[in-house]
Structures are given as structure tokens and as C-alpha cells.
A and B are shown apart, each in its own frame.
Chain A
Amino acid sequence: MRTEERVLEIIETARGKRAKFRDERVTMAHGAGGKATQSMIEGLFAPAFASESLEQLGDAGVLPELGVAITTDSFVVKPIRFPGGSIGELAVNGTVNDLAVSGARPRGLTLSMVLEEGLQADELRSEVEAIADAARRAEVEVVAGDTKVVERGHADSMYICTTGIGTLDPRARLSTAGIRPGDRILVSGRVGDHGMAIMLSRGEFELGADIRSDTRPLWPAADALLDAAGDSLHCMRDATRGGVASVVNELARASSVAMVLREAAVPVHPAVAGAAEILGLDPLYVANEGVLVAFVAAERAEQALAALRSVPGCEEAAEVGEVKSEPPGMVLVETGFGGRRVMDMLVGDPLPRIC
């Protein structure tokens, strides 16, 4: 007999289970950072490699016995240059940020480039310079590399992969399991700038706005937070693909807690808010390349926020919500209008709505 209670139990059991990878082919949704990506990681990669560090599903892998964290990332952004940055700068910042939010000071990078036959030498030169500049700013050394060239049409100008290694900071006591009900949720800056800058620079919307990518290294922000909050800093994540919404959803699930966000407290550039309104997107789901989300014990949240705001580029950092115990695994948003809604994991690409 199906009762409502029984049906809700079935749903919860299904949700609590590891996502299975059952798709026949890879679609663009598997790259969007939402449910399909999760099913691929949890259903295919994690079981295949059976690594304890990988099981944590953090932004970087931690090898405590060696005192290091290691991470890798590939960059396929289109167009390769956009307002506020380029693929080269992204390739450095994206990787060092995964280390920074794992509590590791970035030390070295390897660089691997896949180049398309016919690429202008000047374009390559300018990306190499961008990589060198970004590495200097992030205080990280490029220590090894590799190059491959593929026939015209097989890579869109260039793809870049970087691997980063960092030394674990002794102040850091970070883990998803460390998140507790009562923790405050901080974001280090305005959300949605990067994704919106890319979308508009593709020129598909005929929308013009001065929106620039926020790509920047986040170690200074992580460092300031570790200094101000010490072991009261429970967890950090880099809010890239899928935005802040995906980060809090993943963590709510991983830590079996609820998260409540206050929409009105989330800093959003007015132009990003306007473009998102027109395109039917929620800035909380839009990608960032220089925003971290931090979970800090309530008693240290104020100091942590003040420390964060003193870091250049993080002046608009804000406390945006709180961790609760119920309902576990869910993210709720208190809307500016005074209602509440559930903010779910992204299903598929954040495509503009048509109605």
C-alpha cells in the first residue's frame, strides 16, 4: 500500500544512495557541474579508483602523510579571451584556488597545453604571458609542462590542463564532516560575475553590460580566514561551475545538514542581477572564478568576515546564511520577498527559460 509517508521514504532512500552513472552517452550536462556531473563522479570515477582522499570529493586531494594537497583541472573556456581575463589566467587561478580552499598554500604548477593546428603564434604568446603573470600574482611556480598539437578542428584554439601542489597549512582543520549546525555561511565576494561575463561575451544574447570575470587567486582570502578563525573555520569551497548553489547543495548532502541562505544578503553586481533577470537565471547558480564559500563557527563569524573584507578583491564579502540540522541534505532560501524556497542541485545546463 502506497501511503504518502512510504512514498517520501522511497524518495529519501533514493536520494541518500550514491548517484549511479547510467547514461548511454556523455552529454553537455555531464560537464555542467550539476546532477549529471555528480552521477559521473560518484557513480564511475570514485568507485573505480577507490581512494580515500578521492572519496572526500573535496576540491583537492589531501595527502596528510606528505603534508601536501594536489589537484588538477582542465580549461576549455570559449571564447579564450573575455572581459576580465583569459584562459591562461583562469588555468592558474582555477587550480591554485582548489588548493587554497583545501587549506594548502599553492607552491608549484605543471602546465599541459593542447593546441589546435593553425593557432596564431601571437595568441599563444599572449596566453603564455597571462599564465606567467597569474602565476607571479598567485606566488606559485610553473615547474613542468607538456605540449601537444592536434589537427585543425580538433581543439577550439587551445585547451589547458594544470596540476597544482600545495603545502598543508598547520592552522587548517577543514573537512565536510566539520560543518556543524549553527555555522555561519560566508561568501568572499559578489557572485555570478564570471559566468555572466562569459555568457555575454559570446554575443548570443545581444546584451551589452560592463561585466568582468572575477578570476583571481584566493589564497590571500583563505589565509586571512585561517588567521582570523583558526579551527573555527570548518570548511571552504571554491564556487566555480554551478555557482554557490551547487557548493551548498553538495555540502548539505555530504554533511547531512540543512543550509538556509538569505537571498537579500547575497552580494550581486546590479548588472549581473539585471542580465540574470532577463535571461531567467539565478546568480546563485552562475559560475565564479574568484569566490569561495566558507563555513565558520558562529562565535568567530564576525571576525572572519572582517578579516575577509580586508583582503583586496573581497571587500564585498558577506554572511549569507546559516547551517541548520533539519531537514538534512536540503538547501532553503529565504527570499527577499519574505517567502522560502528549496534550492536544488542544478539539473543540466543553466539554460535560459523561455516562458
Chain B
Amino acid sequence: MKFVDEFRDAELGRALAAEILAAVEPGHHYKFMEVCGGHTHSIYKYGVDDLLPENVELVHGPGCPVCVIPMGRVDDGIAIAHEPGVIFTCFGDMMRVPGSNGSLLEAKAAGADIRMVYSPLDALRIAKANPDREVVFFAIGFETTAPSTALTLKRARAEGVRNFSCMCNHVTIVPPLRALLDSPDLRLDGFIGPGHVSTVVGARPFEFIPADYGRPVVIAGFEPLDILHAIRMILAQLDEGRCEVQNQYKRVVPWQGNLRALEVMAEVFELRPHFEWRGLGFISQSGLKLSDAYAELDAELRFAVPGVRVADPKACQCGEVLKGVIKPWECKVFGTACTPERPIGTCMVSSEGACAAYYNFGRFAREKEAV
């Protein structure tokens, strides 16, 4: 594929890997967090970590929008889906995420009309095609997907589609990063910044990381060469004693972000005082809800949602795993109560979560080290 394969060139990959190997100090163990689930996916898909020196470790961050949805929100979604006359729509990945009493996929099997969509506009289309039904869109994602939800809501209002509403679970990227950085036991040397989110918010929101916490950030693209390049750039910063935000993904990310997208988000959404993250608990000003101007399209106001907070199971230690404080196998429920088939915490939900990855590949990874 033109303009794709170029960023997956094995020879250039080996050259970058050699540069990285030359740049690391033997004896120093480097921990870099890739914030975005998209990066984690690429790292597995292409086996990027296989090309890294043994003393460079990638820590998978909290940037998988599906995995961070807490049980209580899934339960609320299922409650709405079971309301008579409702067609409940969501992205496919969301269907498997467990609530306290099953997933949306299981709710569908139990009779709820739950449909997978690929874009919020698909949900709006379903609403227009079924005027006698109430169509609810379960919106998830960081700033990457929030603008498309916002545009859909604007269109729904402009076209007067009365049977459409949105259960908003959009979240913002900076507060959870700050929460991670504030924890005293954090052990990270630098961040691979989220490329997709940055196309919307730009590079500036990440400047607090070098300024307040003294950790370098390199915003990166999603091809394997992008990721290796970003690691190379972080190592160069450490080596040269610099600490700043750099943009490796210049072909897509403007420093200022996408102003029109930010504008439409500001019109449609407002910050919630606090929002719960699976594994991380409540983080203030980290979630979005519909603004007063769009309240009539807010599914949480249109339907009676239980709104019960379901605590993460006590034994679940996703927070510590995310911060790199403990390894997945050190968690008390890992591999026994919490498995990929029946996940408890965020790190086990998606196959890219740190725990799911370790569950599947753990022995193999250790043997590789031994070799």
C-alpha cells in the first residue's frame, strides 16, 4: 500500500533499532509510557518491542477509550438499552466490556435491541429510519472521537431529529496523565504522546509534562517507524539534557491542533466536575457531558438511569499496573479471578491491555529474555 508500506520498512526499522541501542546507557533501565491504545496496538501488531534493547521497557498507558469505561456506566447503558422502544447503538469494541452484570453483547442476547455502528452518523441515520423508536448513541473516546459526536449532535438538532439522544462518556486526555504523574511511586522516564488526540488538541496541552514534571514527551504517529523514531527522539532528549514536547507526527499533527474541532466541542460539551475511570477511580474535570444548549439530546436526562456507582473489585490493582508500580502477575486477582475471558479490570479488558498481553505472552516474553 502506497504511503503506508514506506512507514513499515524493515530495513529502516533495523537502522533505527541500531541507533536506539547505541543511545541507551547500559545498566540503566528505561521505562517509557505510550499513552494511546493505538500505539499499544501497533507495538504488538508489528512486534516493535522485539526490536528494542532489553533495558528499554514500554509501559501501556490509560489511553484505550474502551477499557477506561467503568462498570457503572456500562450498567447504565444496559439499563437504557432495555427500555421499551429503544435502539441502543455503540462501537463494536464496547460490546464486550463487562459491567457488573454482564456486557452489552449479553444484553443483546437477552433481548435488548443493541446495534453496532461505525460512526455516530450511522446512529443518527438509524434514528431517521425508525422515527417511532428512541435511538441512543453510547459515545466513548478521547478528544479524537468527541468532535464527530459533537457534529452529529449539531446535525440532529439542526434537522430536528427528536428520537435521537446521546449517552456521553467522552473523556479528556490531560487529567488522567496528570493523575498518573502526581502519584509518588511513578517510575517513568518519558512519554510517547498520543498522535490521534493531538490532531485535535495539538501539542501544547502536553507542555505541562516537561515543565511541571520534568519528563520528555514526543508525539508520535502509529506506524512502527514512527514509534521507533519517537523513542529515538526521547533518548536524544535525555542524552542531551533537554526536556520538552516534540512533534514526531508533523505530517498530521499541527502544533495548535484543529481549531474548528475544538470550537464545535466547546459548543456541544462541557466538563463534568468529575468522572470515574476504570482502574484509576474518580478524576476531576476529566469527562465531558452535553452542554445546557444540547441538554434535550442528553440520554441521561431523557431516560431514568440508575446511576449506581459500581466499585472496581477491591483486589483489582489496575491503577498500580498502569503506573508501572507492579507487574501484572503481582496483582492479587491476575490469572485467577481476572482472565481475558472474564476480565475484571481495564488492563485485562482489551487484548492490548498490559495484563491481557502478559496473560497471553508472559512465558514467551520471559523465554525471549533468557535467550
A residues engaging B (CB < 8 A)? 2, 4, 7-8, 10-12, 14, 23-29, 35, 39, 204-205, 270, 273-274, 277, 282, 326-327, 330, 332-342, 344, 347-349, 351-355
Query: How far, in whole Å, are A28 and B105 apart by their CA atoms in the complex?
Result: 8
Q: Knowing A14-B339, A277-B1, A327-B367 touch, does A354 contact B47 (C-beta < 8 A)?
A: no
Which chain A residues border B330 with CB–CB below 8 Å?
A: 2
User: Closest Cβ of chain B: how far from A282's Cβ, in Å?
Assistant: 8
Q: Are A355 and B351 in contact (CB under 8 A)?
A: no
Q: Is the CB of B13 within 8 A of A7?
A: no
B298 → chain A closest CB, angstroms: 22
**Most central of A335, A337, A341 by chain B CB within 10 Å:** A337
| 5 new A-B contacts at CB < 8 Å, known A25-B110, A338-B51, A355-B36 | A270-B1, A327-B367, A339-B224, A347-B351, A354-B93
Instruction: Answer whether residue B135 sits at the interface, using C-beta atoms and an 8 A cutoff.
Output: no
Which residues of chain A are within 8 angstroms of B108 by Cβ–Cβ distance? 27-28
Task: Verify B364–A342 contact, CB threshold 8 A.
Answer: yes
B65 touches A349 (CB 8 A): no
A12 touches B363 (CB 8 A): yes
Residue in A274, A340, A344 whose CB lies within 8 Å of B50: A340
**Which of B36, B65, B332, B363 is the one whose CB lies under 8 Å from A8?**
B363
Chain B residues with CB under 8 A of A351? 92-93, 95, 116
B329 surroundings in chain A (CB, below 8 A): 2, 4, 7-8
Known: A14-B339, A332-B364, A349-B92. A337 touches B13 (CB 8 A): yes
8 A/B residue pairs, CB under 8 Å, sorted by A: A2-B329, A2-B332, A339-B46, A344-B351, A351-B92, A355-B65, A355-B93, A355-B141
Q: Please determine whether B335 and A11 come into contact, CB atoms closer than 8 angstroms.
A: yes
Residues of B within 8 A of A12 (CB): 363
Which of B44, B122, B145, B363 lies in contact with A354, CB distance below 8 A? B145
**Is the contact region of chain A dominated by helix, strand, or loop, or is it mixed?**
loop
Report if B37 contacts A (CB, 8 A).
Answer: yes
Q: What is the interface residue range for chain B against chain A?
A: 35 or more
CA distance A352 to B122 in the complex (A): 15
B158 contacts the other chain (CB 8 A): no
Tell me whether chain B's interface is mostly helix, strand or loop, or mixed.
helix
Residue B232 CB within 8 A of the other chain? no
B1 x A10 contact (CB < 8 A): no
Task: Decide yes or no whether B207 CB sits under 8 A from chain A.
Answer: no
Q: Is B210 an interface residue (CB 8 A)?
A: no
Stretch in B238-246, B276-284, B354-362 touching the partner: B354-362
C-alpha gap A270/B118 in the complex (Å) = 23
Q: How far does the alpha carbon of A24 sit from the alpha carbon of B109 in the complex, in Å?
A: 10
Which among A273, A347, A352, A355 is the interface contact of B340 at CB below 8 angstroms? A347
Collect the chain B residues with CB atoms within 8 Å of residue A341's CB: 44-47, 50
Establish whether residues B36 and A25, one from each chain, have CB atoms under 8 Å apart when the complex forms.
Answer: no
**Is B106 an interface position by the 8 A CB rule?**
yes
- Asked whether, in the complex, the Cβ of B10 is within 8 Å of the Cβ of A336, the reply is yes
Chain A CB within 10 Å, residue with most, of B105, B334, B351? B105
In the bound assembly, the distance between CA atoms of A204 and B318 in angstroms comes to: 36
10 smallest CB-CB distances across A and B, nearest first, come from A339-B47, A351-B92, A339-B50, A337-B46, A7-B329, A338-B10, A354-B91, A27-B109, A25-B109, A340-B47
A26: chain B residues at CB < 8 Å are: 109
CB distance from A42 to the nearest CB of B (A): 13
A337 to chain B, nearest CB (A): 4
Most A CB contacts (10 A, CB to CB) among B37, B45, B144 go to: B45
Q: With contacts A340-B50, A354-B91, A355-B196 known, is A273 near B1, CB below 8 A?
A: yes
Q: Which residue of A lies closest to B64 (CB)?
A: A355
B46 in contact with A205 (CB, 8 Å): no
A342 to B91 CA separation, bound complex (whole angstroms): 26
Q: Which residues of B contact A354 (CB under 8 A)?
A: 65-66, 91-94, 140-141, 145
Most chain B CB within 10 A, of A26, A205, A273, A338, is at A338
Docked pose: A99 CA to B330 CA in angstroms: 48
Query: Using Cβ atoms and an 8 Å threshold, which residues of chain A touch B49?
Result: 339
- Provide the residues of chain B in CB contact with A327, threshold 8 Å: 363-364, 367
Contact of A28 among B65, B109, B359 (CB under 8 A): B109
CA of A355 to CA of B170, assembled, Å: 13
* Chain A, residue nearest B9 (CB): A337
Determine the distance from Cα of A270 to Cα of B367 in the docked complex, in whole angstroms: 35
Q: Roughly how many angstroms separate A29 CA and B95 CA in the complex, as a whole number?
A: 11
State which of A273, A340, A348, A355 has its C-beta within 8 Å of the C-beta of B38: A355
Q: How far is the CA of A242 from the CA of B29 in the complex (A)?
A: 39
Q: Are B51 and A353 in contact (CB under 8 A)?
A: no
Beyond A8-B363, A354-B141, whether A337 also contacts B1 by CB under 8 A is no
- Contact status A344-B360, CB under 8 Å: yes
CA distance A10 to B362 in the complex (A): 12
B154 at the interface (CB under 8 A from A): no
Closest chain-B Cβ to A2's Cβ sits at a distance in Å of 7
Q: Which residues from chain B contact A7 at a C-beta distance below 8 Å?
A: 329, 334-335, 362
Interface centre among B94, B145, B224 (most CB of A within 10 A): B224
A204 touches B363 (CB 8 A): no
The distance in angstroms between the C-alpha atoms of A67 and B205, with both chains bound, is 72
- Closest chain A residue to B90, Cβ basis: A354
| Closest-CB distance, B74 to chain A (whole angstroms) | 15
Does B128 count as interface, using CB distance less than 8 angstroms? no
**Of the candidates B10, B46, B362, B366, which one forms a contact with A11 in the assembled complex, judged by CB atoms under 8 Å apart?**
B362
Closest to B145 in A: A354
Q: Give the most central of A10, A277, A333, A353: most B CB within 10 Å.
A: A353
The contact string, 1 if C-beta is below 8 Å from chain A, for chain B 37-63, is 110010011111111000000000001
